[in-house]
Structure 1
Amino acid sequence: MFDVELLSILLPALAAGLLVLSTHVLLGQQVLKRGIIFIDLAIAQVAALGAIVSHIDHRLEDLPYAHVWMPALFALGGAGIIAWMAKRLVGELEAFIGCFYVLSAVAAMLLLANDPHGAELLKQLMSGQILWVSWSQLALPAVVSAGILGIIIAKPQILDGAGFYFLFALVITLSVELVGVYLVFSTLILPALALNQYHGKPKLALAYGVGIVGYIAGLLLSASYDLPSGAAIVATLALSAFLFRMLLKLRLPVLAG
């Protein structure tokens, strides 16, 4: 049985996971629909690059909320570049997005090459520290996530246009700070992939189920065996996605695609 202290750590971490899932499940299905799988890694990496720039420039680091608006500026800039490429490089878009990701990752490594805390910061941005999220850190992501979900509900066609890229950038910016680049990618792709061949009415609800099961199992695994939380959740998300996909194939043999 978990003690009260451990529960006080797990509850905000779970709330952070649910916040990330609230927008990522919807956007992840759009990513698969567009066939731009690497966009989440690319935008997440660009947002991380913005966080690194604010860290190494002490003039920026001392400005209020620089850890939020600097990654957001970089992510929005990256989204703008990808939106531009989407119109002009249709047949090669995925390849160019992959190159964009690699260049952003290399730039991050070069910027932190001589920073004594660079390796730790890079690890934090990639793997995240979801177990150490506090309730106060969730206020801004909750407001932004609610706003973005409201926009999507009121105007669902925005996901089919260029506005998708900018909503995506805002969501990714906040998520990277909460859970890290690897978990951002996994949360976007794995629930969507689990239900990709299923077209029944509860598709969206089932995709959320994949994510919720994965996050709860990962947090419990991490807390029980003192494992890195981000890595544990990625593993359980993958297992959850695989199990859901297999169960749907067994119970619902007539699948589209």
Structure 2
Amino acid sequence: MFDLDLLSILLPALVAGILVLSTHVVMGQQVLKRGIIFIDLAIAQVAALGAIVAHLNQYIEAMPFANVWMPALFAISGASFIAWLSKRMADELEAIIGCFYVLAAVAAMLLLSNDPHGAEMLKQLMSGQILWVSWSQLALPAVIYAAILIVLAIKPHILARRGFYLIFAIVITLSVELVGVYLVFSSLILPALAVNHYRGRFKLCWAYTVGLVGYVAGLLLSAKFDLPSGAAIVATLAISAIVFRFILVVKSRYQLPLLR
């Protein structure tokens, strides 16, 4: 049994994961459909670069909500650039996005190379510190994610247009702040990949289930065995996705009435 102190840490972390999944599962399916798998890593890394620039400039860092609007500005600029490229260099877009990610990562390392706390900040941005998320940090993402989900419910076709890039940049910015770059990528791609070949009526529901199982299992394992929470959740998300894909293979091979 977990004591109340541990539960007080795990519960906001789980809610943070649910908030991230609420938008990332939908966006991840669109990423797979567009064939731009590395866009989430690239935009997440660009948002992290914005956070680093804000951290290194004391005047920007002192401004209200600089930890939100500065990464958002970088992410929206990066997403707009990729949207512009998608119309002009579609055949090379994935390669360019990969280069974009590498350049943003290198820029982050160079900017933090002389910062005494640079290594720790870089680790936090990449791996995240989901176990230390507070309830107050969840308020803004919850409101914005809810607004985005309402917009998508009313106008689902907006993701098939240029609006996808703007929504994607906003979602990624908030998520990097909560869970880090690695979990952002995993939350987007792994649930979407798990259900990619599923043709049943509840595709979205199963994708959310894969993600939720991964987060719950990862948090429990990290708490029980004192493991890095972000890394543990990435691993359990991957296992959850693999298990679901295996179930789909068994269902197809033996014509079992599963996951209808």
Q: Calculate the TM-score normalised by the size of structure 2.
A: 0.97
2:215 is equivalent to residue 205 of structure 1? no
Unaligned 5+ segments in structure 2 are 256-260
Superposition RMSD on alpha carbons, in Å?
Answer: 0.7
- Give the structure 1 partner of residue 178 of structure 2: 178
Which deviates more from structure 2 when the two are superposed, residues 230-239 or residues 196-205? 196-205
Q: Matches of 1:252 and 1:230 in 2, distance apart?
A: 33
Secondary structure at the aligned position of 2:119 is classed as helix
1:104-115 equivalence runs, <5 A: 104-115=104-115
**Deviation per residue, 1:34-93 (Å, 9 max, x gap):** 000000000000000000000000000111000000000000000000000100011000
Structure 1 segments of 4 or more deviating over 3 A? none
**Deviation per residue, 1:175-232 (Å, 9 max, x gap):** 0000000000000000000011111111110000000000000000000011000000
- Give the structure 1 partner of residue 258 of structure 2: none
The alignment-based identity, stated in percent, is 73
2:251 is equivalent to residue 251 of structure 1? yes
- Give the structure 2 partner of residue 233 of structure 1: 233
2:22 is equivalent to residue 25 of structure 1? no
Aligned letter for 1:42? A
Q: Matches of 1:192 and 1:152 in 2, distance apart?
A: 17
Q: Deviation at 1:249?
A: 1.5
Q: Matches of 1:209 and 1:176 in 2, distance apart?
A: 22
- Give the structure 1 partner of residue 218 of structure 2: 218
Q: Matches of 1:187 and 1:252 in 2, distance apart?
A: 26
- Give the structure 2 partner of residue 130 of structure 1: 130
Q: Matches of 2:39 and 2:30 in 1, distance apart?
A: 11
- Give the structure 2 partner of residue 13 of structure 1: 13
Q: Matches of 1:195 and 1:242 in 2, distance apart?
A: 10
Secondary structure at the aligned position of 1:54 is classed as helix
Q: Matches of 1:196 and 1:59 in 2, distance apart?
A: 46
Secondary structure at the aligned position of 1:41 is classed as helix
Aligned letter for 2:51? A
2:121 is equivalent to residue 121 of structure 1? yes
Q: Matches of 1:25 and 1:166 in 2, distance apart?
A: 17
Q: Deviation at 1:129?
A: 0.1
2:29 is equivalent to residue 36 of structure 1? no
Q: Deviation at 1:166?
A: 0.5
- Give the structure 2 partner of residue 78 of structure 1: 78
Q: Matches of 2:41 and 2:81 in 1, distance apart?
A: 14
Q: Calculate the TM-score normalised by the size of structure 1.
A: 0.98
Aligned letter for 2:139? A
- Give the structure 2 partner of residue 158 of structure 1: 158
Q: Matches of 2:91 and 2:30 in 1, distance apart?
A: 18
Figure out how many residues of one structure are paired with residues of the other and give that number: 254
Unaligned 5+ segments in structure 1 are none
Q: Matches of 1:76 and 1:40 in 2, distance apart?
A: 12
Aligned letter for 1:5? D
Aligned letter for 1:232? A
Aligned letter for 1:147? A
Aligned letter for 1:225? F
Q: Matches of 1:173 and 1:252 in 2, distance apart?
A: 39
**Deviation per residue, 1:141-164 (Å, 9 max, x gap):** 000000111111111110001100
Q: Matches of 1:22 and 1:10 in 2, distance apart?
A: 18
Aligned letter for 2:47? A
Aligned letter for 1:9? I
Q: Matches of 1:74 and 1:148 in 2, distance apart?
A: 20
Q: Deviation at 1:252?
A: 3.4
